[in-house]
Each structure stands twice: as structure tokens, then as C-alpha cells.
């Protein structure tokens, strides 16, 4: 027996659904016991942090984690904030009043939006403070790659071009070479390796 199904009208479903400002959901923002910071859970295991003076943003809006991959920074963003204000929906831009085109998080945590952790930068400077990018040739240190049977090489990017720093038998030696040149070339934006074990002849 054939069952005739009603054809539903075809509507153009927007890619981004406008939030209902009249049905505002309660947030999970909490103030630290010290009274200096406010924090709120976003998507997954991420926690957004802001100064107490900016805590109203966490109390008034729901925030979610926005990022590409685990080896990149995840930022707190709010569609409701962007729609209601007509501005950038990222928390770190909301904290600073949208006066800077781009901001860098000093500790590499894109959810830590305390003012002391934010600094204006350009795209290149922001890339210098990025965590290491993992692939099948990378090591546990940033700027160090395995080239068997030749050992380990150290390199970094300057103005978008790779700069070869040398070949080393030990991984820690290559990490030290990267730290030395990165600190000299990138200054305060350099993301240096933490070397706890040193292996040498």
C-alpha cells in the first residue's frame, strides 16, 4: 500500500539563526572568592575568565568556545552579544571596547580575557606567540623537527619566510637554538620552549 506523504513547503533556512533577545538564558558566571575575577563555563571544558569590572559581560551573555583545532587557541564568542551590539562577538574584543583590530593573549589561553593578559598586536606578532603545530615530523618543542638520520633541525619564520637555524644531534640543543633566536627576533611575543631535561654528550 502506497502512503502519500505531504510535501513540506521549502523554506530558506538561514545559516546563522538570530537569537531571541526576549528569551535570555541564565548564565553560569561566578565571581572568584578574591573578588577580582569572574569566570564562566563555555563549550566543552573551556572556562572564560575576565576581570571583575568586565564581569557583566559574562553575567549578561552566554559564551561558547570558538576554534579550529586543539593545537590552536579557542576563543570565547557570543552570537547574542554580536547581534545585540552589532559588533565583534569575541570576548577579548568586548572587554577592550573594540578599540584594537587584533589582540594577543600573553599566556596563549584564548579564554583568559583579563586585561593584563591582552595586548594589541598585528597578525605576524600574534603568530609568534602561537603554540607549536604538531605533525609527523615535529617534536615536543616548538620550531624543532626530526630529520632522521640527520638528527634534529631548528627553524622559525621571519616575515613569512622559513629561517634555517641548524642541525643538531640532540632535540634539546635544537630547542635551545630556537629559543635564542626567537627571543632576539620576536621579543615579548616569542613563545619559548620550556626545557626541563637537557641531553648532551
Dump pLDDT digits (tens) for 106-131.
Answer: 888 899 999 999 999 888 887 777 77
Question: 40 is written with which cell numbers?
Answer: 564562566
pLDDT at residue 111, as a whole number:
93
Residue 149 preceded by cis peptide, ω within 30: yes
pLDDT at residue 135, as a whole number:
60
Taken in order of first residue, the domains within the chain and their CATH numbers are 30-120 (no CATH), 135-189 (3.30.730.10)
Contact predicate 49/41, CB 8 Å: no
Q: Among 49, 101, 36, which residue's Cα sits nearest to residue 75? A: 49
Residues of the chain short of pLDDT 70, as ranges, are 1-26, 69-71, 133-137, 198-201
With 0.85 as the threshold, say if the pTM is over it: no
Q: Is 179 helix (H, G, I), strand (E, B) or coil?
A: helix
pLDDT at residue 25, as a whole number:
60
Question: 174 is written with which cell numbers?
Answer: 635544537
Amino acid at each position: 500500500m502506497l502512503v502519500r506523504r505531504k510535501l513540506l513547503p521549502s523554506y530558506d533556512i538561514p545559516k546563522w539563526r538570530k537569537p531571541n533577545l526576549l528569551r535570555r538564558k541564565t548564565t553560569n558566571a561566578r565571581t572568584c572568592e578574591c573578588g577580582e575575577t569572574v569566570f564562566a563555563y563555555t563549550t566543552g571544558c573551556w572556562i572564560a575568565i575576565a576581570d571583575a569590572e568586565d564581569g557583566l559581560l559574562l553575567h549578561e551573555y552566554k559564551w561558547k568556545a570558538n576554534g579550529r583545532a586543539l593545537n590552536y587557541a579557542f576563543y570565547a564568542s557570543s552570537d547574542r552579544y554580536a547581534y545585540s551590539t552589532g559588533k565583534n562577538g569575541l570576548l577579548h574584543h568586548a572587554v577592550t571596547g573594540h578599540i584594537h583590530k587584533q589582540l594577543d593573549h600573553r599566556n596563549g589561553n584564548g579564554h583568559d580575557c583579563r586585561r593584563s593578559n591582552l595586548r594589541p598586536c598585528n597578525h605576524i606578532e600574534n603568530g609568534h606567540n602561537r603554540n607549536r603545530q604538531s605533525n609527523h615530523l615535529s617534536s615536543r618543542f616548538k620550531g624543532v623537527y626530526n630529520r632522521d638520520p640527520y638528527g634534529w633541525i631548528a627553524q622559525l619564520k621571519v616575515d613569512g619566510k622559513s629561517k634555517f637555524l641548524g642541525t643538531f644531534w640532540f632535540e634539546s640543543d635544537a630547542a635551545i637554538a630556537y629559543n635564542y633566536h626567537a627571543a632576539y627576533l620576536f621579543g615579548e611575543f616569542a613563545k619559548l620552549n620550556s626545557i626541563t631535561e637537557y641531553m648532551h654528550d
